[in-house]
Structure 1
Amino acid sequence: YGIEKFIEKCKESVWRYRNEWEKLTERMAYWLDMKNAYATMTNDYIETLWWIFKETEKRKLLYEGYKVLPWCPRCGTALSTHEVSQGYRKVKEESIYIRFKVKSKDSEWQNTSILVWTTTPWTLPSNAALAINSDIEYVCVPDPEEENHWLVLGKKNFEILLGKGFFPETYKNLPAFQIDSFSGREMVGLEYEPLYPDNAPYKVYAADFVSAEEGTGVVHIAPAYGEDDMRLGKAEKLPILSLVDEEGKMLKPGYKWNGMFIKDADPLIVEGLRQRKLLFKTEPYEHDYPFCWRCDSPLMYYAKTSWWLKTTAVKQKMIAENKKINWHPEYLKEGRFGEWLKDLRDWAISRERYWGTPLPIWRCGACKNYSVIGSYDELKKKTLKSGNKYFVMRHGFAEHNSHDIASSNIENDNYKLLPKGKKEIAKTAAKLKKEKIDLIFSSDFLRTKETAAAVADIIGIPKENIFFDARLRDVNVGIFDAKPDEEYHRYFSSNLEKFSKAPPNGENLTDLKNRLMRFLYEMEEKYKERNILIITHEYPTWLIQAGAKGLTDEEAVILKGKKKDFIGTGQMMKLDFIPLSHNQNFVLDPHRPYIDKILLKCEKCGGEMKRINGVCDVWFDSGAMPFAQNHYPFDFAQGKPFANKKLEYPADYICEAIDQTRGWFYTLLADAILLGRKAPYRNVLSLGLVLDANGQKMSKSKGNIVLPIDLMNKYGADAVRWYFYTINQPWDEKLFKESDVQAVLRRFILIFWNCFTYWKIYGRAAGSRTSYGSPTSIINKWLLARFNQVALEATKMLDNYDVVSTGRLLENFVIEDISHWYIRRIREKMKNPNSKEAKEINAVLGKVIMETAKILAPFTPFISEMMYQEMNPSSPRLRSARESVHLENYPVVGKTLSAASKKLLKDMEVTRDIVSKALEVRTKFGIRVRQPIASLKIKSQISPASPRQSRGRANLKNNKELLELIKGEVNVKEIIFDKNIKEEIELDTMITQELREEGILRDLIRQIQDIRKKEGRKPNEMLEFFMATDEKGKNFIVKYAKEFKKSINAKSIIVRSVLEGGYDVKVGEFVFLIKSEK
């Protein structure tokens, strides 16, 4: 397939998924600057990564080492410790206990085997030694399976295995002559027989990593496959037997398992040991095993030469900086993240991959010296060069130039130089004399040939040193040949389009650039130390300069600028050319395989340096984003476009999943500290995983995955967002149920929208406005005070990153305070929209809804914006200068509440408490709320048990407005303060006939209001009502006609015995047929 095709496919994938990401980001209303979003594959980003590498090398924090590291046999690359930490999961495997026979002439060790436990049978063919702990006590006991044979293992381990039943019960009381106890020191230096024949000496060595808590107290050592093993191997100069290849296949000819994958080979290796009577026991073993986070393949530990960042050298600095970071939840600082930093290891930074940031390290083939490159400029300086110097010249002024005619077809080539052009050439040629031109390469058009001949004659170049090349011809304009230049230019919407669009029978500018650059690279290969003049046309001069610099199409357009011609006729310019790492269109591209072709000159011996094959760990890329997204430090240097730009560092806030404590959170900190910087972020909010309703991870294979975009399309993004903001703390796991999102929509989003809709409907009637001076009504004063209280609390909570409490506070405010309390209390007053009260209510409610929408905008951006647009100057309802709610200032309500506001809020709290208790009594006695009752008694005596509440109740005695609120909400005729009642409140539950009829009337009014809604009537619309009922019903209507007529907004009420059509309504013992007309 080829690396180049693969790399291009990778790029396509990046842009494809970037588009998907942008669509989802926009749908969820996630505020990002997507036009300037960084991508880790861009040239600027990679250059910053190279700079970081250079800086770490300067600080002696970059080194090459042969170490055992986690290796993915499927991906064919190493992984860093933080990558490995993301892929652990529980597995159950067969562990084995095997006999290693002691090889000794000492009679004490005759017929003895050392018992060893391992979970990785595939490593046994690479065994090079056994390790014991010299401070542990060991025992030698009879082998229960083999007569006259003995087993050696740790004493503690023996007791554990005895308890598991690995040895007979009788071994609990072995006689002294059958059990020998000794120190591990006595075993050091013992030789043993290899499991698989080899000439190497196999001995027992002491190691402090051997434990008496697990296994047998003896560890099998395979230096190629374990960190501890490798350390011991280096210390004792053990052979490194690597009998597994990079694909995880066994390399041991002559065995059945040769060529098999390690995990597949395990059973065959175990069976072979059993047949040779070396297998003592097998045991299922459950443990955490690492799998590749990319492909889910089991990892293996493998000895490889790799490049490392010495993070252990800056470990203490990382720990110190972590203490300054504000973590949410707090326990992560010293817990998951802090513990990770304490156990920090060096970072294996190189990967044996094709796609990724190439390691900027070149090694000399002769002296093995290496060089780390920190910028593209440094790369150019150190690139092996041909020594050629290039000059590009445009032909002199010719006949077609005088008529502004395009000429690109060689078959119609009959345009000669004019005298003006010859003078231009002579002037330029005089300047060229000092450049000592060796060779002239020219386009094969008549005007360029004439130019080449004239220049050669003046500067003294023989004819044999003049060459003509079709690749230097002008751009092929196709059907526009021999036509005015302007027609060709008008064919394109811009100069940029010329790179992708070709005229019929012609070529685009990318085609032109590519043939020019193929010519230039051929010159570079063919000639050394020559001064070469290239004579061509205007567009080729422009495009060869762009190609030599490796410019993108957009950059090439900027290079040309707005001037008509890039270069004048007969003019010449230098062409600074050094071979670049470029893609197939000669655009700078530092990726493989292009970068692999760039050779450097060794500064030490002058030899040829080739780039090492590795690419960077992708987590290094992501950790560098505070610097690389801004092309730091390059765009900050003098003369660069962002010379005065300030690096926004550190970030105030970052947010990611909790597993990123060993991913992005860590690599951000590591990259920064390696550069000698402070922590790159001040505050971290960590997010828990979203699981299914049963607590299982979501995956396509399990069929339990839920796509966010589907949820948003079904319930709206605001409902999905609000679910996550309020369901539980951000860092807690979420057991996702779709019904919870549906509940959020009904419970909060729609209620807030209904509040707004109510204001909008009644606001029109009352003359929509949000300014009415200082409110006079206590309910309006309270709503404003309560909003200010909520805004203060919400601000404080958000400043402390307490998102959940903020969300729940705002939800309670909208549902309980605005919808259930305030709007319910002002409905009657809004029925007369022209009243002073209605206008004041409209202003207050409108203001509160608007200000609440502003606070909610970061949480529920869509509904907040919809409300804002309905209320903004275009209505003109609210006078505001902002285009969007998201451009508004966050509501500022002062630092504290006034004393009057605090008192009002306390009084209303008591009021609502009384109402709540009274309604509980109603429910207890089965009295519906629309049924009026005679009286409510409130205990006026201050109780020592609850002085604050009882004092608050007593204070209500003289507050008529609050008492009226209680009357209306509880539906009671009279409130009596009585210090002698036992409970806090008492209701008179006796329903008189008059009260009963009043309750029936209220039920009838409510049902008629429902009919008005069904028919789509406006609240203030006057209607004529026709009612059919019996004599008893007529008398009831007549009795309450005045109140009834006013309540249903009726012009008139006509009662008949018979009525055609209408709505059947039954209230109490009355039955009505009701119909309305305008």
Structure 2
Amino acid sequence: MRPLSKEFNPMKYETEVLEFWRKNHTYRKVREMLKGREKFYFLDGPPYPSSKEPHPGTCWNKFIKDSVVRYWRSRGYDVRDQPGWDTHGLPIEVATEKELGFSTKKDIESYGIDKFVEKCKELAMENLREMTTAFETLGVSLDWDNPYITFERSYISSAWWGLKRIWESGRLKKGLVVVHWCPRCETVLADYEVSEYKDLQDPSIYVRFPTDKGDIVIWTTTPWTLPANVAVMVHPDEDYVRVEAGGNVLIMAEKRLEKVMDEIGIKDYKIIEKMKGSQLEGLRYRNPLEKRVPVQREVDHKVILSREYVTMEEGTGCVHSAPGHGKEDFEAAHVRYGMPVLSPVDERGIFTEEAGEYKGLSVREANSRIIEDLRADGFLLYSGRIVHKYPVCWRCKTPLILRATEQWYVKLSDLRDELIREVDRVRWVPQWGGERRFKNWLMNLEDWIISRQRYWGTPLPIWICNKCGKTEVISGEKELVEKAGVKPKDLHKPWVDEIKWRCSCGGEMRRVPDVADVWYDSGISFFASLSYPEKDDYERLKPVDFVVEGHDQFRGWFFSLLRVGYLIFGSAPYKTVLSHGFMLDERGREMHKSLGNYVPVDEIKNRFGADAFRLFVLSKVTWSDLRFNMREMENTLKKLQVIWNVFVFISEYAVLEGEGEMSQEDRWILSRLNSTIKDIRNAMEEYRIHDAVNSLLNFLVEDLSHLYLRYARKRVRRNPSVSRILREIASKILPVLSIFAPFTAERIYQESFREEGMPESVNMLPWPEHDEKAIDKRLEDLMNSARAVIAAANSIRARRKMRIRQPLPELRVSEELREVVATFPDLIMEEVNVKRISVGRAEWDEENVQGGKVYLNTEVDTELAREGMRRELIRRIQQMRKEMGLRRGVEKVKVYIKGVDNLLDEEAMEEVDAVSVEIGEGRGYRKDWEMFGKKVTIWLERSE
């Protein structure tokens, strides 16, 4: 064992340690060392490399993963630790479009799909490399040389195999569905992708639909959907009224009458008939835009019934239904009543020829035009404005529209109960994540729209004959080459679109133009990352032992994995799922550059170092949102320095050999060491990572530094058992520290604790086994009570404004605390700085503690006052030694003091490693102090 440098400089040693790992291929050697052992299959939820710098919250995610991977490696498992990258889809496409200055699909096609796809790949790779470097410098020890990347040929081939399996099960279908559509990106978004909303101002209008019995009054905030109207929904069980008002007869729900009339501004009205909604079924009406939208004249408009989709909470109780632009409308009007589906809107959100006078207008700009036409034609009862939450595209922020389109989808809605049963077989951390959040999400399970109308993605492996309509789904690149007799340059668009072959009917088999939903890409990662079925590693590794992502991924990646796993293999693909919170700023807001509250990762690392960042975030409750706080980062850095100083002390004093008598304090610290290792192991196996980190910090900072080492400092030179205990602590706790603060642990190991014949890296040390026999919970409880006694006594000192270095005559405790002071008398006397401890009552200052009382005699005589001065003098000399960089017990000094009598006796001289003390001016390092109400000057001179 060699002395550890007193210099604590994480920014310097982390750089050097990283270079050591790289130069020695440390993690590759660790993997080789564990190869063939019992498997632990960790699956990385792949982030989008749509920027060069990771978000601090992404780093928290990676630190969680890294600590789990490091833990299971230390336990001797062959850990599958492959990182992943989700490279397809809109995040990369939008970033590439921005770089090229594009705003529409037409721009892409004019530029060339092949060149655009190549640009997407280049951007993904460039960002991927930058982010990889960032994660490596933060100590994330995944296998960065062998990531899985969703755009690679083998991955796409696996994706095709999975789709072929789904096709063979009869669940991959094509049909007309109403979808959320982004008019800017010109593609469908699945429901679970509709997660972002903005406050938008929209029209709020009441419109008359004429019938033979009067005018049905509808309310809408989307006038642009009126050209697609085919029906009006009413609730069969609610009461509806015909109302005479200003010479017109209006029809609406009775429960909404007063509210609607008040908003419209009609005060004089009379109910002339009341009926149930069911009596209105089949009532025919005219669409007020029929003269402007010719297709409306071909529709047989009528009233239909719906209990699910008609509410009495808003509107008129008569719901305008456009099945081409609403899922509920599609279900009620088209599926149940067979009404036609009109959707006169193209991919860009522009009205088509079918929209008559509104052709060429974008849907949102058409709103005002339609309102004015309704007003001019006498059908507008009222027009106002409303501010409401409206869904926008999660990548480009364009307001979405609902639109009926032909899409490929996977029949999933009938598997709800089966998927919920699979959820019950999975271990969720925290448990309520699966029990409440995930199951609630699955209760509203819908079919999975899997096609996307974009370019940069996994092409759907579906070829259809242009003559007979025969459909073939290809299971991978190998089958494609066998079918077509040619190997494409790339499996992406546009190269794969060039692959065609003759159908048995003589027609030509051509690929459908769509690409796959990116959630399919990430959902297959549990087998596609292993190039299955081309390679058979999945059969050996399945199921995945552990996945972790943010709690937003219940409806994202966790769901995608579950449905793909069940669709293809009949079971959930994972055993344990951990969800973590979001990283927020100090005020609880999400971190965004636009808000000015974003803290770059480089700034955090350069100011505090990677290990302090790791310990800070890992110490927070994993499944709660984390508020990033610079002051707490500073405190964490201070704790890391305390840990460093603990090992400095151990490296200097844990060198004595031999055995000595163990004290109760020695037995207590060994108990705490072993119970801490046991607690951390239990916490890590239950994925309570924050509990593990806080147990470690509490042991190293509170138990070891703030208590035991203070007590052991005076005994270590005289009692070899203390040295032995310190060595045992270091050997057992360093591998544990390396799980969470790997740079610091490695530096300490290499500089001080690594001996000849030991593993070349702290990462190769096995997890320390705790000694159950050394754990004494009764002793630990007694120490907790002793700490309470010490805290109570020091509270009395604080009230009396008495320095802790001023010795006091006596501490007395009530009878209930007798065992406490009998067990740790020396420690309590030293920490409270008293000459005696006794049991009983006293008329002194007192303080309550749990289970008893503490009394403190604060009378100070001349002798005690002089001792207090001696303690103050010792503290100043020790501080000067530290500033000189002198090692305790090794480097001696000569002491010169001016301004006060010599207060240092032999014991004090030994404590400050002084060979002599002289009164008067001296030589060496000088410092002036204000002490005892006067100026005192001290010189320290190194002794040869």
Question: What's the offset of the Cα at 1:115?
Answer: 0.5
Question: What's the offset of the Cα at 1:1049?
Answer: 2.6
Question: What's the offset of the Cα at 1:1073?
Answer: 2.8
| Stretch deviating more after TM superposition (208-217 or 974-983) | 974-983
Of 665, 672, 679 in structure 2, the residue corresponding to residue 786 of structure 1 is 672
Aligned to 2:550: 657
Aligned to 1:691: 584
Aligned to 2:729: 848
SS at match of 1:815: helix
For residues 927-974 of structure 1, the C-alpha deviation after alignment (integer angstroms, 9 at most, x for no partner) is 21111111122223xxxxxxxxx2xx3235655xx2122221111111
For residues 199-252 of structure 1, the C-alpha deviation after alignment (integer angstroms, 9 at most, x for no partner) is 224422313133333311112222221123233135544343332211011236
Counterparts of residues 79-228 of structure 1 (less than 5 Å): 79-84=189-194, 86-102=195-211, 104=212, 109=213, 112-143=214-245, 147-161=246-260, 165-168=263-266, 174=270, 178-196=271-289, 197=291, 198=294, 199-208=297-306, 209-228=309-328
Letter in 2 for 1:99: R
Question: What's the offset of the Cα at 1:995?
Answer: 0.8
Letter in 1 for 2:177: K
SS at match of 2:715: helix
Question: What's the offset of the Cα at 1:775?
Answer: 6.2
The whole-number CA distance in structure 1 between the counterparts of 2:344 and 2:703 is 73
The whole-number CA distance in structure 2 between the counterparts of 1:844 and 1:328 is 36
Distance 1:1044 1:852, change over 3 A: closer
Question: What's the offset of the Cα at 1:652?
Answer: 1.6
2:812–2:841 contact (8 Å) kept in structure 1: no
Question: What's the offset of the Cα at 1:139?
Answer: 0.8
For residues 631-650 of structure 1, the C-alpha deviation after alignment (integer angstroms, 9 at most, x for no partner) is 111212xxxxx6xx744222
The whole-number CA distance in structure 1 between the counterparts of 2:210 and 2:820 is 94
Of 697, 708, 724 in structure 2, the residue corresponding to residue 811 of structure 1 is 697
Counterparts of residues 5-404 of structure 1 (less than 5 Å): 5-84=115-194, 86-102=195-211, 104=212, 109=213, 112-143=214-245, 147-161=246-260, 165-168=263-266, 174=270, 178-196=271-289, 197=291, 198=294, 199-208=297-306, 209-231=309-331, 232-251=333-352, 258-383=359-484
Counterparts of residues 681-830 of structure 1 (less than 5 Å): 681-727=574-620, 729-746=621-638, 748-763=639-654, 766=655, 776-830=662-716
Letter in 1 for 2:459: P
Of 821, 834, 849 in structure 2, the residue corresponding to residue 972 of structure 1 is 834
1:850–1:868 contact (8 Å) kept in structure 2: no
Distance 1:890 1:50, change over 3 A: same
For the pair 1:1026 / 2:901, whether they are aligned, the reply is: no
Question: What's the offset of the Cα at 1:281?
Answer: 2.5
Aligned to 2:75: none
SS at match of 1:228: helix
1:194–1:202 contact (8 Å) kept in structure 2: no
| Stretch deviating more after TM superposition (849-858 or 1054-1063) | 1054-1063
The whole-number CA distance in structure 1 between the counterparts of 2:215 and 2:722 is 93
Aligned to 2:533: 633
Distance 1:1057 1:211, change over 3 A: closer
Aligned to 2:41: none
Distance 1:694 1:262, change over 3 A: farther
Q: Percent identity?
A: 33
Distance 1:958 1:700, change over 3 A: closer
Question: What's the offset of the Cα at 1:898?
Answer: 5.0
SS at match of 2:895: strand
Of 623, 626, 635 in structure 1, the residue corresponding to residue 523 of structure 2 is 623
The whole-number CA distance in structure 2 between the counterparts of 1:931 and 1:274 is 90
Question: What's the offset of the Cα at 1:69?
Answer: 1.3
The whole-number CA distance in structure 2 between the counterparts of 1:653 and 1:997 is 63
2:736–2:767 contact (8 Å) kept in structure 1: yes
| Stretch deviating more after TM superposition (730-739 or 357-366) | 730-739
Question: What's the offset of the Cα at 1:130?
Answer: 2.2
The whole-number CA distance in structure 2 between the counterparts of 1:796 and 1:358 is 45
Aligned to 2:56: none
Question: What's the offset of the Cα at 1:380?
Answer: 2.5
In structure 2, list runs of 5 or more residues that go unmatched: 1-110, 847-851
The whole-number CA distance in structure 1 between the counterparts of 2:523 and 2:804 is 62
Distance 1:978 1:191, change over 3 A: closer
1:290–1:298 contact (8 Å) kept in structure 2: yes
Aligned to 1:996: 865
Higher relative contact order (CA 8 A, sep 6+): 2
2:208–2:381 contact (8 Å) kept in structure 1: yes
1:362–1:600 contact (8 Å) kept in structure 2: no
Letter in 1 for 2:542: Y
Of 863, 874, 879 in structure 1, the residue corresponding to residue 744 of structure 2 is 863
Aligned to 2:884: 1015
The whole-number CA distance in structure 1 between the counterparts of 2:934 and 2:670 is 44
Question: What's the offset of the Cα at 1:155?
Answer: 1.2
For residues 495-518 of structure 1, the C-alpha deviation after alignment (integer angstroms, 9 at most, x for no partner) is xxxxxxxxxxxxxxxxxxxxxxxx
The whole-number CA distance in structure 2 between the counterparts of 1:699 and 1:367 is 53
The whole-number CA distance in structure 2 between the counterparts of 1:99 and 1:152 is 9
Larger Rg: 1
For the pair 1:955 / 2:825, whether they are aligned, the reply is: no
Letter in 2 for 1:95: S
For the pair 1:1049 / 2:919, whether they are aligned, the reply is: no
Distance 1:1068 1:345, change over 3 A: same
The whole-number CA distance in structure 2 between the counterparts of 1:931 and 1:305 is 85
The whole-number CA distance in structure 2 between the counterparts of 1:240 and 1:1066 is 90
1:911–1:966 contact (8 Å) kept in structure 2: yes
Question: What's the offset of the Cα at 1:673?
Answer: 0.6
- The CA RMSD over aligned residues, in Å, is 2.6
Letter in 1 for 2:196: G
Aligned to 2:491: 590
Question: What's the offset of the Cα at 1:15?
Answer: 1.0
Question: What's the offset of the Cα at 1:379?
Answer: 1.7
The whole-number CA distance in structure 1 between the counterparts of 2:805 and 2:782 is 25
Letter in 1 for 2:800: F
Question: What's the offset of the Cα at 1:994?
Answer: 1.1
In structure 1, list runs of 5 or more residues that go unmatched: 384-577, 583-588, 637-641, 941-949
Distance 1:991 1:150, change over 3 A: same
2:616–2:636 contact (8 Å) kept in structure 1: yes
Distance 1:256 1:26, change over 3 A: same
Letter in 2 for 1:806: A
The whole-number CA distance in structure 1 between the counterparts of 2:760 and 2:210 is 84
TM-score normalised per structure 1: 0.72
| Stretch deviating more after TM superposition (669-678 or 247-256) | 247-256
Letter in 2 for 1:56: I
Letter in 1 for 2:789: I
1:243–1:252 contact (8 Å) kept in structure 2: yes
Give the paired residue count: 816
The whole-number CA distance in structure 2 between the counterparts of 1:269 and 1:812 is 68
The whole-number CA distance in structure 2 between the counterparts of 1:914 and 1:266 is 75
Letter in 2 for 1:1028: K
Of 872, 882, 893 in structure 1, the residue corresponding to residue 759 of structure 2 is 882
Letter in 2 for 1:732: S
